[in-house]
Amino acid sequence: MTPAGPATELSIETTGLSKRFGHQLAVDGVNLAVPTGSVFGFLGPNGSGKTTTIRLMLGLAAATGGSVRLLGQEMPRQLHEVLPRVGALVEGPAFYPFLSGAANLQRFDAADPHVPAATRKARVRSALERVGLTHAADKKVRAYSLGMKQRLGIANALLAPRELLVLDEPTNGLDPQGTREVRSLVRSLAADGATVFVSSHLLAEVEQICTHAAIMSAGRLVAQGTLAELRQAGQSRIRVLTPDPGAAARVLAGLGLTVDGAAGNGSAGSGAGGSLIAGEVLVAPLPAASDGGGVAPERVVAALVAAGVRVRGFATEQASLEERFVALTGEGFDVVQ
């Protein structure tokens, strides 16, 4: 699955990207396509190759094979032309602990030959304000919490206008309020026209801020696309609320559907007299038409009614992003918010 057709401009494009450490193939033939203007979630369990892939993209490590293009330019051959247009936070921020947050940013800004020194203080002030650290600008970084250091790292990536932001676990160490602030920041960056590439293992983070996503497993890219495409590629299912579960199960079996099991008693609301519309909920996977066994939901309802089954509730459900992740990687998702 690919998120973009050939006419879509890409901010990041990798072809057969690979990295070997001795006998270990950490990144195995990755073909990423990140559309310009997207907020792209890069997902995978620990050790799946996410950070190594990011390091290869940014020229921080040499690839064993394959190619990388950032903002239409070949990397690392055109690294010096590309990196001034890219802001990045990779593997956590590193700062001088005995200097203040503002002084650290001023040193990093001074190392950039592409920005004017005359406006340095204004850039630092603006970056600190954008990540909510104005109050701690003069505090030594050694007194910063982990979350404050993380936000200072994002501020460093924002010292100059960027066309592409690459953020590796940007909410690491943040409390819930800090996490919400970073989500809001990412949305505002995208609204300003930047492409934002976010590596994360947090489901809530990806579903709330990303337009596209890719999933890594054991060094390989196993899926990519819009969030809707990723969900649609998973197994959809039907839920039937009925007081006749046995008869309903037989009808579903006759249609080639296998009931996963009953979900217990359910209710579909209450009438004017306050009585619950109760029954048992049956859940069954719904094969896709592409699998050769597609069954339209309306056909299921018609068959149940024709067999005399009392249908008190019926719904179709698409697989969640978490279920798709588990199906592709065999591992659970960290859903802490």
CA angle (251 as vertex; 249, 253 as ends), nearest 5: 70
Nearest to 277 by CA among 287, 286, 267: 267
pLDDT at residue 6 tops 80: no
CA angle (285 as vertex; 282, 289 as ends), nearest 5: 140
Q: What is the pLDDT of residues 247-300, one digit of tens each?
A: 999 999 999 898 886 555 554 443 444 334 567 999 888 775 544 456 888 999
pLDDT at residue 141 tops 60: yes
- E strands, the chain, in order: 10-21, 24-30, 33-35, 39-43, 65-70, 73-75, 86-89, 164-168, 195-200, 212-217, 220-226, 236-242, 261-270, 276-286, 313-317
Residue with tokens 């404050």: 148
Distance CA 332, CA 337 (A): 15
pLDDT in the model for residue 8: 61
Higher pLDDT, 63 or 233: 63
Out of 82-91, 121-130, 194-203, 324-333, pick the least confident.
324-333
Give Cβ neighbours of residue 78 (< 8 Å, ≥ 6 apart): none
Q: What is the pLDDT of residues 151-165, one digit of tens each?
A: 899 899 999 889 999
At 279 the three-state DSSP class reads strand
Residues of the chain with CATH 3.30.70: 236-317
Class of domain 236-317: alpha beta
Q: What is the pTM of this model?
A: 0.74
Question: Which fold, 10-232?
Answer: Rossmann fold (3.40.50)
Q: Which DSSP symbol is given to 42?
A: E
| Residue 275 CA: distances (Å) to CA of 263, 264, 269, 270 | 21, 18, 8, 5
In contact, 307 and 220? CB cutoff 8 Å = no
Kind and range of the H or E element at 121? helix 120-130
Percent of the chain predicted with pLDDT > 90: 50
